[in-house]
Amino acid sequence: MASMTSMSKNNITALIQFLGLGSAFLAFLFVVNNFIIFNYGATGVLHTLYFGELSGVKIPKGGFSDYAVTLGFFQTTAILAVISYSAYRAFAIRNVRKDALTMDWISAYVVRAAFWAVLIVGLTDAVLSFLRVEGFHKVLFGETAGAAIALPSARGLYIHVPLMIISAFIALRDRSVSLVWLALLVVVSEFLIVIARFIYGYEQTFMGDLVRFWYAALFLFASAYTLKEDGHVRVDVFYAGLKRKTKSTLNIIGIVFFGLPLCWLILARGMWGKSSLINSPMLNFETSMSGFGMYVKYLMAAFLIIFALSMIFQFTAYLLNSMADIEEKITDDVSDEEVNV
């Protein structure tokens, strides 16, 4: 009887681990597949499996090309491979704590890369917007390049995208990023706007755009880090006095039934279809209509993707750590630092 109970608990643990890992990996593939579908015309997984009526992709009049069908095949294969790998990690390897550390690292990397991207892209785009407002862009870059800078698609593809790729590489090397610096930049930028407006009488739309760009990034990117540090607001009247096992159980329930579904709702609602809330601004390189502002509005829509992905990875890390605490019977007197040693 004891053996059967132990086996049942192990199966439940493995099932929850599979759910967490599968959710994290599939969320990443969902974003990648979305990019491939709407930028390269791929059929997508649902059309490949003949469930096209459920997808947000319309079938072209002449049908999908062989290239699109081939991409759809690779998309479907990737999905099945990820599900199989998640099951293998959960039911065969069963190293819950190691998987939690991996999810934690991925979440931190996503936030670091996003931090460097908004910092570098924000400063660069602000400078380009200033040059355009003052009429210096064609003088410095020539007639053709200067005119291209004024086009949202050209600035996005040839300036923003390379800078974001560079940011991703910087994030691999530098692991000391603190979002406190982004908060400081928001304060300094707002202070400089006040100085420029009331002392020098100079004010342009791009100045306010930069502050909003960084503030939105700070608000959304810091959520995963705050979750990692257990800094989110919670009702501590009952939770603080509970035993570690009970806390871990409540964390698992909250993540499985509320945390992960909320993040998936953001991704599905925002990216299901070409005209959806996130896809539409990104695909059209949407910009602000208020004068000579920055060309980063479409990136602010993408912030929701970063938020959802980083939170899914961090929720999964939190989920796996809570499971490991229960499985290893970690007591209240053991700190998180000691557990992860």
DSSP letter for each residue of 63-115 = ---HHHHHHHHHHHHHHHHHHHHHHHIIIII--HHHHHHHHHHHHHHHHHHHH
Can you give the pLDDT at residue 60? 72
Can you give the pLDDT at residue 306? 94
Q: Could you give the percent of the chain with pLDDT greater than 70?
A: 86
Can you give the pLDDT at residue 336? 58
Average pLDDT estimate for 61-82: 85
> Range with the lowest mean pLDDT among 22-36, 147-161, 218-232, 325-339?
325-339
Q: pLDDT confidence of 234, banded at 50, 70, 90?
A: low
Can you give the pLDDT at residue 207? 87
Please determine, for residue 9, whether its predicted confidence score (pLDDT) is greater than 70.
Answer: no
Can you give the pLDDT at residue 337? 54
What is the rounded distance in angstroms from the CA atom of residue 102 to the CA atom of residue 108? 10
What is the rounded distance in angstroms from the CA atom of residue 116 to the CA atom of residue 174? 10
Please determine, for residue 339, whether its predicted confidence score (pLDDT) is greater than 80.
Answer: no
Q: Pull the structure tokens for residue 341.
A: 């040693």
Can you give the pLDDT at residue 19? 92
What is the rounded distance in angstroms from the CA atom of residue 283 to the CA atom of residue 153? 9
What is the rounded distance in angstroms from the CA atom of residue 51 to the CA atom of residue 53? 6
pLDDT digits (tens, 9 = 90+) for 289-310: 666 788 898 999 999 999 999 9
Can you give the pLDDT at residue 121? 94
Average pLDDT estimate for 11-39: 91
Please determine, for residue 52, whether its predicted confidence score (pLDDT) is greater than 70.
Answer: no
Q: pLDDT confidence of 2, banded at 50, 70, 90?
A: very low
Mean pLDDT of the chain: 84
Q: Could you give the percent of the chain with pLDDT greater than 90?
A: 37
216 against 205, higher pLDDT: 216
Please determine, for residue 177, whether its predicted confidence score (pLDDT) is greater than 80.
Answer: no
Average pLDDT estimate for 139-167: 87
Can you give the pLDDT at residue 216? 92
Average pLDDT estimate for 30-50: 83
The amino acid at 35? F
Average pLDDT estimate for 146-154: 83
Q: Which helix (H) or strand (E) holds 313?
A: helix 297-327
Please determine, for residue 232, whether its predicted confidence score (pLDDT) is greater than 90.
Answer: no
51 against 209, higher pLDDT: 209
Average pLDDT estimate for 134-159: 83
Average pLDDT estimate for 275-287: 88
Average pLDDT estimate for 270-289: 86
Report whether 94 contacts 21 (CB < 8 A): no
Please determine, for residue 237, whether its predicted confidence score (pLDDT) is greater than 60.
Answer: yes
Please determine, for residue 102, whether its predicted confidence score (pLDDT) is greater than 90.
Answer: yes
* DSSP 3-state of 291: coil
Q: pLDDT confidence of 68, banded at 50, 70, 90?
A: confident
Residue 64 has, within 13 A of its CA and on its CB side, a CA count of 21
What is the rounded distance in angstroms from the CA atom of residue 13 to the CA atom of residue 207? 51
Please determine, for residue 4, whether its predicted confidence score (pLDDT) is greater than 90.
Answer: no
Q: pLDDT confidence of 67, banded at 50, 70, 90?
A: confident
